[in-house]
Chains A and B, each alone.
Chain A
């Protein structure tokens, strides 16, 4: 690792990366705006009641000015709504990701080391279950079992009704409640985030552990590992000092893209657990044909993906000397 980190990106590569980021983002924004302009959806009709006179309601035009215009759903500026929703989504996705990494990576290593043994089969089955079962169904079942039957977790929502005022402003509840020393709020927020984070985390865990297993197996077949073994190096040491650092580079891509998809793909979980994040906001906006909000959410989500890809690229170049000069 010492060798790898000593190589850093040069100025030219940085500029190149940023230019690519800029061009991709601009193309995306233009494409989404163009598609929404040619869409035949009449946003106005969705918000006007049944009246005898001709509909006078003019849907405020889709616009990139003034924070994407107003939302038909909330009557707020769309950007303001997104600002309020993003911390909730980030918090949930981060909690889910932490769970997925902490459990998924060790499980993947364990499966690789025990390749084709019983443990490997059991872990494979568990992971396949997480990846193949619909997250919608998984969320419902989790809620039925852990909330309705066992009552181990609180009712869906980001906080209890006693703390509703606390989520009126955009904020990261877990962090800010610790900083404020507001322990009742912290306990409540933590209790509420756990079940959706577990469900969402299980979904990503499956992918992360499968990929970890694959990467570790690939490394195990490399000549440097055989050399180490011949030298008589203990396996734990080979794993820790050689295999894991080499696997980490590839794993970062998987983790970052999984994280990005959690930021967007938590739509079902947010709907079922009534989590006031961007997934819930987007679904509700689609239901009322709210073009301004749909446009804004699409751009925000796509930008998250582009940024994740951009960070992956940068990290690759930073960490892997073989692609540093490409």
Chain B
């Protein structure tokens, strides 16, 4: 058999300089419809195959660029926006991309109302009012009117999300009858991005090819990008070592990288935090909350057990996002922590449960708290179990990860600091709600900052909110995650984005 295999010689590596092969976990890619997809791999797909009115600026948070919009202006105290498109834009199908397609796409996402639709509907759009709030003035001009004043950078941030991708209305027309074309677009393509869909086999592979109709694509060095679903890091390692793949996206756990490869890392807007349920009689004491904040040696954990995976960030606004400050507010201080616990009357410690998926981190927290005789019982669970307990407020302490929905401070402020209704009937079960914690003035400041038109004033509002949050909040933000890919040295120009919707394939080339 081995003899036969040698004589076959059929397994010569077929990837040429024009073809990039990337190993990635893409099992969370379950639909290709940009108005419905919300998972990381899916957002990356949409970013590279569809175009949006705006893109986040790579280096300047709060700034935006565009491939299709010539100018964008705000009027009427942040309530009206006008976008002027370049003429002669085309979809991959050859159909022209006009203002009517933009309007069609935004209205469609709102009407379809899938998971990511809240990114648009939070501005007061609904299936009735979009008819006059999102309109095409002519073939190249789009006018959008909001129901209330909103900081333009917040609105622009949401327009950079995949949910605001522009789809080919002509191509989608025959499929609209039942479900706004969702079933069709879940497996097909109707975009204008630099790459277009060639083939997708769920749970197996995703193949993109260069879209010749896209102007930027003329700069693209690669004709084809093949993304293979390979879950096991050890398999990714082996394939990279043998040159069967060019980029391994999930190789975090390996210290010994294959020869001739390089690590590419980026901070992503994912925060790891420890939530302390305020229903618990120990954890509701302000001194205990503060003591726990001082018991954790943040830097040591980041340097040892979570090395290369995280950096210390104690603020709920991710690093490099507008208004991010006080990232290392608390330092490890055992004496102070013990004093605080003594003041609260717990010098002998107490016993408490900790729900967590990340057991490495849970054990680090367990030993940190043990220094002050707080006995932590870890209750391990997978992400579904942890999330179910969190949403049901059924925990004492809990470790989880929060991924920002978009790169504007408002996204995480709502999640961490606001809780308009603490009752079980609340429709907004934010992280603060799940922790049974309500700070009414934070709700007010958050609304104020959302509407502030002056960027500097807005940033100041978020900074002061973070400072106050850090002092009193029972949600202890610990770290910000680092995403790492390992690339073959013959590959260059691979850009990982802070959000998965900014990981760009356009500049990748292979020697």
Residues of A within 8 A of B (CB): 42, 45-54, 57, 72-76, 99, 143-144, 146-148, 151-157, 160-162, 164-165, 167-168, 184, 187-188, 190-192, 194-195, 198, 272, 274, 276, 281, 284, 288-289
Q: How many A-B residue pairs have CB under 8 A?
A: 118
Q: Is B15 an interface residue, CB under 8 A from the partner?
A: yes
A-B contact pairs, 7 of them (CB 8 A): A50-B387, A53-B429, A148-B242, A155-B244, A190-B10, A191-B10, A194-B5
Say yes or no: B387 contacts A45, CB within 8 Å.
Answer: yes
Question: Nearest Cβ in chain A — how far from B252, in angstroms?
Answer: 19
Contact of B10 among A46, A52, A164, A187 (CB under 8 A): A187
Say yes or no: B428 contacts A160, CB within 8 Å.
Answer: no
Say yes or no: B430 contacts A73, CB within 8 Å.
Answer: no
Residues in B whose Cβ lies below 8 Å from that of A50: 387, 402-403
Question: Nearest Cβ in chain B — how far from A210, in angstroms?
Answer: 22
Say yes or no: B30 contacts A74, CB within 8 Å.
Answer: yes
Residues in B whose Cβ lies below 8 Å from that of A144: 238
Say yes or no: B31 contacts A75, CB within 8 Å.
Answer: yes
Knowing A49-B115, A155-B244, A191-B8, say if A161 contacts B27 (CB, 8 Å).
no
Say yes or no: A45 contacts B115, CB within 8 Å.
Answer: no
Residues in A whose Cβ lies below 8 Å from that of B447: none
Say yes or no: B238 contacts A148, CB within 8 Å.
Answer: yes
Say yes or no: A191 contacts B205, CB within 8 Å.
Answer: no
Say yes or no: A167 contacts B201, CB within 8 Å.
Answer: yes
Residues of B within 8 A of A (CB): 1-2, 4-6, 8, 10-11, 14-15, 19, 21, 27, 30-31, 38-39, 115, 118, 186-187, 199, 201-205, 207, 226, 228, 230, 235, 238-239, 241-242, 244, 384, 387-388, 402-403, 414-415, 427-430, 433
Say yes or no: B11 contacts A188, CB within 8 Å.
Answer: yes
| A50, B239: Cα distance in complex, Å | 33
Question: Nearest Cβ in chain B — how far from A183, in angstroms?
Answer: 9
Say yes or no: B10 contacts A284, CB within 8 Å.
Answer: no
Knowing A74-B203, A156-B235, say if A47 contacts B30 (CB, 8 Å).
yes
| A188, B10: Cα distance in complex, Å | 5
Knowing A52-B428, A73-B202, A147-B238, say if A164 contacts B207 (CB, 8 Å).
yes
Say yes or no: A49 contacts B39, CB within 8 Å.
Answer: yes
Say yes or no: A75 contacts B5, CB within 8 Å.
Answer: no
Residues in B whose Cβ lies below 8 Å from that of A192: 11
Residue of B with least CB distance to A165: B199
Residues in A whose Cβ lies below 8 Å from that of B203: 73-74, 276, 281, 284
| A57, B36: Cα distance in complex, Å | 12
Say yes or no: B235 contacts A274, CB within 8 Å.
Answer: yes
Residues in B whose Cβ lies below 8 Å from that of A152: 2, 5-6
Instruction: With a 10 A CB-CB cut-off, give which of A42, A152, A184 has the most chain B CB atoms.
Output: A152
Say yes or no: A184 contacts B10, CB within 8 Å.
Answer: yes
Say yes or no: B1 contacts A53, CB within 8 Å.
Answer: no
Question: Nearest Cβ in chain A — how far from B234, in angstroms?
Answer: 8
Residue of A with least CB distance to B385: A45
| A151, B241: Cα distance in complex, Å | 12
In the complex, besides A49-B39, A51-B115, A167-B204, 5 extra interface pairs with C-beta distance below 8 angstroms are: A52-B429, A75-B31, A161-B15, A187-B8, A188-B11
Question: Nearest Cβ in chain B — how far from A187, in angstroms?
Answer: 4
